Structure 1
Amino acid sequence: MLRRLPFLLFLLIGSMAFSQKKSELFAQIDELKSEKSAVEQQLAEAKREISSSNAKAETLEVENEGLRDANATLLKNLSSFSQLSKQNSENVNKAMAALERKEKQLSGINDMISSNDSVAVVSLARIQQMLGENGKVNVTEGIVIISNSLNNLFGSDTGLELTEPGKLWLSNVAKIIVANPSFTAEIEGLNITGEFGPTFDQASAIAKELVGAHRIPSDKLNVVAKDGNFREGINIKLHPDYKGFYDKAKESIKGTQ
């Protein structure tokens, strides 16, 4: 019995040591399970974060692609706007240049009109001086109008033979026509009866006297008869050289084009 006691003690101690080791192993197993569970949780969380990051990355990629498209469209629109702006600027410059040419044309024509009017006004003073105090002269729209009555020219409303005062008046008118070669003369007979035949004959008698007695070229004279609107008599209208005026105006327009 005594011989077995050490062996039993050894077995007991061994059994106790084995039990202690077993408990430690179970504790380590439990600890490893806990660590494994924690690692699995961390892994799952990491996977969720990776999935979320991937989703965000895909969203950002889509947004970035949209921004690239928008940027490309914006650049294209800016290029188109720049070209349109340049074209509009060129059109404005062309319009301004055309306007400046038109202003020069109008300015030149206005200068010529003013020049014609000035010539008429200067001629008015000279004509008035040549006709004397009793000469009836005025300027209307650049036309010099010399007037006389039928009684003074023909002795009556229906006369066709010129009086001596009438012939003297016409001699001064002839001098005026010769002194202004650029003017053409219109002999205008006015009546208040509506019978234009006798009035035309009176105006023609004036023209005949100017051509025959004073050698005024017939192509510089024009004879008309008109309703005098409660006025009768003879008007001799000295017209500026309209053909020359229009020729100059056309040359002025060509020169500024």
Structure 2
Amino acid sequence: MKKKLPLIVFLAMTATMFSQRKSDLLAEIESLKSQISSVEQDLAKAKREISSSKAKAETLEVENVGLRDANATLLGNLSNFSELSKQNSENVNRAMAALARKEKQLSGINDMISANDSTAIVSLTRIKQTLGENANVGVGDGVIVISNSLSSLFGSDTSTTLTDAGKAWLANVSKVILANPSFKTEIEGLNITGEFGPTYDQAVSVSKELVTVLGVPSTSIQVSAKDGNFKEGINIKLQPDYKGFYAKAKESAKATQ
């Protein structure tokens, strides 16, 4: 028994040591498991972060491609805008040049119109000096109108024979017509009854007196009859040479083109 006691003690000590070693191993295993779990969590977290970073990188790449496309489009638009701006500038310059030419044309035409109006006003002053301040003379749209009544010219509304007073009046009118050879003359009979035949005959009588007796060129005289709108009588209209005026205006327009 005594021989076996040491063996038993050794075995007990060995069992105790093995048990303690096993406990340490189990503790170490648990520690390793905990470390492995922590590492696995860190790895999973790292994988998630990598996945998120990859997704962000892909998104940024897509956005970068979009930005490059937008930048290329913007550069193309800027180039097109620059070209369009250049064309618009050229168009504006051409339009301004055309406007300047038109203004010059209109200025020349306005000058000629003013000259005609001034001529009419000056002629009106001279006519009144010839016919007298009480003469029935007016100017409208550059046309000088000398008027007289049928009773003064013919003695009645229906007569076509000029009175002495009418002939004397026409003698002074002929001086006005002959002094303005560039003006066209129209003998206009005014009627309030609608019977234009007698009115036209009266205008013809005035025309004959001016041409055959007073020496006014027949080529410069026209005869007409129209409704006088509650007025009757004879109007002698002196009109500027519009044909010559428009010819000058046309020449002026060509000169400024």
- Flag the 1:244–1:41 CA change in 2: closer, same or farther, 3 A: same
Give the superposition deviation at 1:161: 2.1
Aligned to 2:132: 132
- Flag the 1:174–1:59 CA change in 2: closer, same or farther, 3 A: same
TM-score (norm. length: structure 1): 0.77
Give the superposition deviation at 1:149: 1.8
Q: Which runs of 5+ in 1 are unaligned?
A: 1-34
2: CA distance between counterparts of 1:167 and 1:96? 59
Describe the superposition over 1:166-196 as per-residue Cα deviations: whole angstroms up to 9, x where unpaired.
2222121111111111101000112222221
Aligned to 1:209: 209
Q: Which runs of 5+ in 2 are unaligned?
A: 1-34
Describe the superposition over 1:221-244 as per-residue Cα deviations: whole angstroms up to 9, x where unpaired.
011112222222211000111101
Q: Secondary structure of the residue that 2:161 maps to in structure 1? A: coil
- Flag the 1:138–1:41 CA change in 2: closer, same or farther, 3 A: closer
The aligned runs of 1:1-257 (5 Å cut-off) are 56-257=56-257
2: CA distance between counterparts of 1:39 and 1:192? 123
Deviates more, 1:160-169 or 1:180-189: 160-169
Give the superposition deviation at 1:84: 2.1
Give the partner amino acid of 1:143. Answer: V
Q: How many pairs does the alignment contain?
A: 257
RMSD, aligned CA: 3.9
1: CA distance between counterparts of 2:113 and 2:177? 21
2: CA distance between counterparts of 1:53 and 1:230? 101
Describe the superposition over 1:53-76 as per-residue Cα deviations: whole angstroms up to 9, x where unpaired.
655544443332222222111111
Describe the superposition over 1:81-101 as per-residue Cα deviations: whole angstroms up to 9, x where unpaired.
222222223333333333333
TM-score (norm. length: structure 2): 0.77
Give the superposition deviation at 1:118: 1.1
